[in-house]
């Protein structure tokens, strides 16, 4: 039993140590909040953890006394106690009070995090002053539409720091869930309705995360659920405005410069363009946007949300997407590519940049 | 020993178990089948942990992993934990209330065979084109999109076994209400009987929503309806509600009997009556009641809005109060007691802090705004394994050692039992404690792999190491069972020496009629009362007389088998021509045998007074 007690104590200490050290990666961990929502949630976590560690401490003390003091030493029959009203009242009332301490901030925060009234305040142009982004989750990729700015991008969400960003969330095939752990809790993208919530990306937190947060799908959606990652580029608002402007400036597909890339463009236009748009225009209906928009593919940090964006990985992806993301909808939509074709397409894709 | 227990051939024994309506033999069947599925589910868990031991592992493929995780959850909940608890309920509850059997022995057998055929059907999916792969929750958009017949196996298998569970629950309710021995008032019932009673009531109200949900999804998949097809005006959120209106009470269906088992073990090995018995009963009923008010806390991120989320958050927190009452009552039962650390008591003592951990993370999860971070991450995985393994599996292991002598008449080896305990206890915390942090560090649940460079490597490796400890514990337990069975050293009525309740007043294993004369119950812990007054056993409440017993019947097996056949027909109806005829034949078998049962008068038989007296004499000669 001594071992048992030590074990309990050890795990308690480990719990405290881990919480104090705030482990995890700054671009992924909920314990390193990088925005108002995550911060509020982190505060709630801390409050509840403190209360709960207190409860555990009390129980542990009683537990240890019981286990060590009342071990059987002789064959005497102990006194048969029925109970104690006083004690019963104590351990009913104190937990109720503790729960109230947690329940009140919980209710307040639940309402605060659900406040999306800014999304309804429309100005004369029929647009909102607040930044709104429509998130559409698809089998293993994400689309981000900026309705006010009238642009679309995929896989890499670009947002300004230090201001509230509002989201409309939905799924186009099966249910997914939109989650950027270090910036705020998740919300489901349903097939039935549009969910709304907001997040705020902290500039300091973004700095710590190298301006790139990891986003995840948090609802089982099929074989590649684990690989349905996206990235969030959180940049200062002037940089964000620049990005929007340069995206809006793309009315015609970007013209590649090298011969190899031009060859790639031709190939792309013969087949890939059927699914992948290369202009950011959001005029085409959602049903027609069946694959990630690739307008600024060359600017993105990752291929398919999971592989670092470099020549080698693009080639790997083009040659065999099925192995990299099992069950994705791109596999088998095109025939076997020759190494030359892959080289050309890769060169083309790498030149799809809207920013210097 | 009576003529009834004479050595029989293997075939005769099998036939005996196929046709039995005796609650003790049905308990053994539940234990064997549940134990088998527990091992299957455990193997699936090992595959999961091996796959996640290192990043980018290709031990199993993405699609197969989803099948394994779905079957692990479904098997452990429906085919392992519940049947094992049903085993104990069947074996012990009638003895605790001084009954000769459950109220409906025939239905009892039917319930088992329905569960068994449902479970076998579900697991046959492994060999017939792939197992279900939409998680044990089987959310509608994904399960409708799932190709192949995996989800159909899930729907039909659970429908059949669920019917069995519902029957079992009703049977226990009626038994407890009607068949208590003279003097056994409600407030004298042992806590395990009380928790069986409340859990059965939960089954009665929780399983119909699941049945309805499964029917709707089955119609969508097999008969072209559109209940959950969004494009045709259906709504998938309804499935989530139906599932969790069942799913949350299900947690209490599992954990209340676990509480019951510990509430029996702790007083016995502390030699002290349960502290605050009436508040324990009250807390049990309150947990059962509140269990129905909180289902939407599984859906905080679905977008129900802040009002619903806030209400369900506060309601969920409220459950912590009665649960806390229980924890303190167990501690104060031991306080001032004389604690003997047997194997069952090891589990009971370890259960308190382990379950407490699961309880407090439950309160943390109840905080809706914070739950947006925890939801669908490994934090939740850690939480519910702390509750279900730290609570239910500990209770099953404790119950197995505690009630083994009563069920089989032999004692499991204590040394091996303690080795199992320590391996399992260490492995359990090693596996699941770190998972809280994996979740907080950003690891979603149900992922078949994780990429490097996200800080998840060490935690996952530690977790996998822990899983191997638990596997080793299970192997030691199996060895223990085999050794004990081979040795076959018989024990008496009260092998633990400090039994307090009625089951310890009769032989181990009990004769098939349990009580020669129904006992007179004079208070809580009736056997203890008699012992303290220096008596050896219970005072009978009736003169020795004829005992009316039910006849064995093969019909429950056939009814269940018919549904098993029909399920294949329903599933393959659209693929093959033979589907529809098989569906009809299966239903004909089921309804035909039900009809047969209805028209055939079966009055059972009587054990005559003289035989019971003879038996006493025989015993005297043998001893």
Q: What is the pLDDT of residues B311-346, one digit of tens each?
A: 999 999 999 999 999 999 999 999 999 999 999 999
User: Quick one: CA torsion of A270, A275, A281, A287, rounded to 10 degrees?
Assistant: 140
CA–CA dist B279, B336 (Å, integer)? 19
Residue A21 above 70 pLDDT? Answer: no
Q: What is the mean pLDDT of residues B380-404?
A: 97
CB pairs under 8 A between A and B: 301
Between β-strands A156-160 and A164-171, what pairing exists: parallel, antiparallel or unpaired? Answer: unpaired
Which CATH number describes the domain made up of B3-542? Answer: 1.20.210.10
Give the number of C-alpha atoms closer than 13 A to the C-alpha of residue B564, restricted to the C-beta side: 20
Nearest to B454 among A28, A73, A112 (CB): A28
Pairwise CB contact (< 8 Å): A7 & B429 = yes
CA–CA dist A283, B30 (Å, integer)? 61
Beta carbons within 8 Å of B89's beta carbon, 6+ residues apart: B27, B168, B172, B196, B257
- Whether B317 has its CB under 8 Å from any CB of chain A: the answer is yes
Pairwise CB contact (< 8 Å): A326 & B371 = no
What's the gap in Å between the CA of A258 and the closest CA on chain B? 34
Nearest to A91 among B65, B328, B451 (CB): B328
Domain spans in chain B, listed from the N-terminal domain onward: 3-542
Helices and strands, number each (H, E), in chain A: 9, 12
pLDDT of residue A328: 94
Q: Which residue has the higher pLDDT, B266 or A5?
A: B266
**pLDDT, tens only, B292-301:** 999 999 999 9
Residue A191 above 60 pLDDT? Answer: yes
pLDDT of residue B3: 43
pLDDT of residue A22: 55
pLDDT of residue A124: 85
Shortest CA distance to A41 belongs to which of A143, A127, A113?
A: A113
Q: Which residues of B touch A24 (CB under 8 A)?
A: 437, 440-442, 455
Q: Which domains does chain A have, with CATH numbers?
A: 2-66+84-113 (no CATH), 259-350 (2.60.40.420)
pLDDT of residue A7: 65
Q: What is the mean pLDDT of residues A201-207?
A: 94
CA–CA dist B115, B160 (Å, integer)? 7
pLDDT of residue B623: 34
Candidate from A3-12, B207-216, B421-430, B443-452 with smallest mean pLDDT = A3-12
What's the gap in Å between the CA of B578 and the closest CA on chain A? 31
User: Could you tell me which chain A residue has the CA closest to the CA of B335?
Assistant: A66
Are the C-beta atoms of B227 and B314 separated by less than 8 Å? no
Mapped onto helix, strand or coil, the DSSP state of residue A141 is: strand
Number of Cβ within a 10 Å radius of residue B372:
26
Pairwise CB contact (< 8 Å): B310 & A107 = yes
- Whole-angstrom CA distances from B468 to B46, B47, B68, B175 are 8, 11, 17, 41
Mapped onto helix, strand or coil, the DSSP state of residue B503 is: helix
Confidence of residue A2 (pLDDT cuts 50, 70, 90): low
Chosen for mutation from A44, A191, A217 (greatest number of chain B CBs closer than 10 Å) is: A191
> Which residue bears the tokens 């398919």?
A304
Residue A1 above 90 pLDDT? Answer: no
- Whether B141 has its CB under 8 Å from any CB of chain A: the answer is yes
Mean pLDDT of the residues in chain B: 94
Chosen for mutation from B373, B460, B532 (greatest number of chain A CBs closer than 10 Å) is: B373
């Amino acid at each position: 039993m001594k071992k048992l007690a030590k074990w309990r104590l050890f795990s308690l200490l480990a719990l405290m140590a881990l919480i104090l050290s705030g482990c995890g990666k700054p671009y992924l961990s909920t314990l390193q909040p990088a925005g108002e929502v995550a911060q509020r949630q982190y505060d709630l976590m801390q409050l509840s953890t403190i209360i709960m560690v207190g409860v555990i401490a009390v129980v542990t003390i009683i537990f240890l006394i019981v286990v060590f003091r009342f071990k059987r030493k002789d064959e005497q029959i102990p006194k048969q106690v029925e109970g104690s009203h006083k004690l019963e009242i104590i351990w009913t009332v104190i937990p109720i009070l503790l729960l109230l301490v947690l329940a009140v901030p919980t209710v307040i925060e639940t309402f605060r995090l659900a406040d999306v009234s800014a999304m309804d305040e429309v100005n004369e142009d029929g647009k909102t002053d607040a930044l709104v982004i429509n998130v559409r989750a698809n089998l293993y990729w994400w689309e981000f539409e900026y309705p006010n700015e009238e642009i679309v991008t995929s896989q890499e969400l670009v947002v300004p720091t230090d201001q509230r960003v509002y989201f409309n969330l939905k799924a186009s095939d099966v249910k997914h869930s939109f989650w950027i752990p270090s910036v705020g809790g998740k919300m489901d993208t349903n097939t039935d309705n549009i969910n709304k919530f907001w997040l705020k990306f902290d500039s300091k937190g973004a700095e710590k995360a190298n301006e790139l947060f990891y986003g995840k799908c948090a609802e089982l959606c099929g074989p590649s659920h684990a690989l349905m990652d996206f990235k969030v580029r959180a940049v200062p608002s002037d940089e964000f405005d620049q990005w929007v402007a340069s995206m809006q400036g793309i009315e015609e597909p970007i013209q590649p410069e090298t011969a190899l890339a031009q060859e790639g463009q031709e190939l792309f236009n013969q087949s890939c363009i059927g699914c992948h748009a290369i202009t950011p225009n959001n005029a085409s209906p959602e049903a027609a946007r069946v694959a990630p928009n690739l307008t600024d593919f060359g600017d993105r940090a990752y291929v398919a949300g999971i592989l670092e964006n470099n020549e080698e990985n693009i080639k790997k992806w083009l040659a065999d997407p099925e192995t990299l993301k099992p069950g994705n909808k791109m596999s088998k939509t095109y025939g076997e590519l020759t190494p030359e074709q892959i080289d050309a397409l890769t060169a083309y894709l790498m030149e799809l940049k809207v920013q210097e | 020993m009576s003529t009834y227990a004479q050595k029989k051939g293997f075939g005769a024994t099998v036939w005996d178990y196929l046709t039995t309506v005796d609650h003790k033999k049905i308990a053994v069947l539940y234990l064997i089948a549940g134990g088998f599925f527990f091992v299957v589910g455990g193997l699936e868990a090992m595959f999961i942990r091996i796959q996640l031991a290192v990043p980018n592992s290709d031990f199993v493929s993405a699609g197969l992993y989803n099948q394994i995780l779905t079957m692990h959850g479904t098997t452990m909940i429906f085919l392992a934990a519940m049947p094992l608890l049903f085993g104990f309920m069947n074996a012990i509850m009638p003895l605790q209330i001084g009954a000769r059997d459950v109220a409906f022995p025939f239905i009892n057998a039917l319930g088992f065979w329905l569960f068994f055929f449902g479970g076998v059907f579900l697991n046959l999916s492994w060999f017939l084109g792939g197992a279900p792969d939409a998680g044990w929750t089987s959310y509608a958009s994904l399960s409708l999109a799932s190709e192949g017949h995996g989800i159909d196996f899930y729907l039909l298998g659970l429908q059949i076994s669920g019917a069995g569970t519902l029957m079992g629950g009703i049977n226990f309710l009626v038994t407890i209400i009607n068949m208590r021995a003279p003097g056994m008032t409600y407030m004298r019932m042992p806590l395990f009987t009380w928790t069986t009673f409340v859990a059965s009531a939960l089954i009665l109200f929780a399983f119909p929503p699941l049945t309805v949900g499964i029917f709707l999804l089955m119609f969508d998949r097999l008969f072209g309806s559109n209940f959950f097809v969004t494009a045709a005006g259906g709504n998938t959120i309804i499935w989530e509600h139906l599932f969790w209106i069942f799913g949350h009470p299900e947690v209490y269906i599992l954990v209340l009997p676990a509480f019951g088992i510990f509430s029996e073990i702790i007083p016995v090995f502390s030699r002290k009556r349960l502290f605050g018995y009436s508040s324990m009963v009250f807390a049990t009923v309150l947990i059962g009641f509140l269990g129905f008010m909180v289902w939407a806390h599984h859906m905080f991120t679905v977008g129900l809005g802040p009002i619903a989320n806030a209400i369900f958050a506060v309601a969920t927190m409220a459950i912590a109060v009665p649960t806390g009452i229980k924890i303190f009552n167990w501690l104060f039962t031991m306080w001032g007691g004389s604690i003997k650390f047997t194997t069952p008591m090891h589990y009971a003592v370890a259960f308190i802090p382990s379950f407490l951990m699961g309880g407090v993370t439950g309160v943390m999860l109840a905080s809706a705004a914070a739950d947006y971070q925890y939801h669908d991450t490994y934090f939740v995985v850690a939480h519910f394994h702390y509750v279900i393994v730290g609570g239910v599996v500990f209770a099953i292991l404790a119950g197995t050692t505690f009630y083994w002598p009563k069920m089989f008449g032999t004692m499991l080896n204590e040394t091996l039992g303690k080795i199992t305990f320590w391996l399992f206890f260490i492995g359990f915390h090693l596996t699941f404690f770190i998972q809280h942090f994996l979740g907080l560090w950003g690891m979603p649940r149900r992922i078949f792999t994780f990429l490097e460079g996200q800080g998840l490597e060490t935690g996952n490796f530690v977790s996998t190491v822990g899983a191997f400890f638990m596997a080793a514990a299970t192997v030691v337990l199996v060895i223990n069972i085999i050794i004990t069975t081979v040795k076959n050293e018989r024990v008496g009525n009260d092998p633990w020496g400090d039994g307090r309740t009625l089951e310890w007043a009769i032989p181990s294993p009990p004769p098939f009629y349990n009580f020669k004369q129904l006992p007179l119950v004079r208070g809580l812990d009736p056997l203890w009362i008699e012992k303290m007054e220096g008596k050896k056993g219970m005072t009978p409440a009736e003169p020795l007389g004829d005992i009316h017993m039910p006849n064995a019947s093969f019909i429950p097996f056939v009814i269940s088998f018919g549904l098993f056949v029909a399920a294949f027909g329903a599933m393959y109806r659209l693929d093959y021509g033979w589907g529809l005829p098989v569906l009809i034949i299966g239903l004909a078998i089921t309804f035909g045998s039900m009809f047969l049962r209805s028209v055939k008068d079966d009055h059972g038989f009587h054990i005559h007074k003289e035989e019971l007296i003879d038996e006493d004499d025989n015993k005297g000669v043998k001893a």
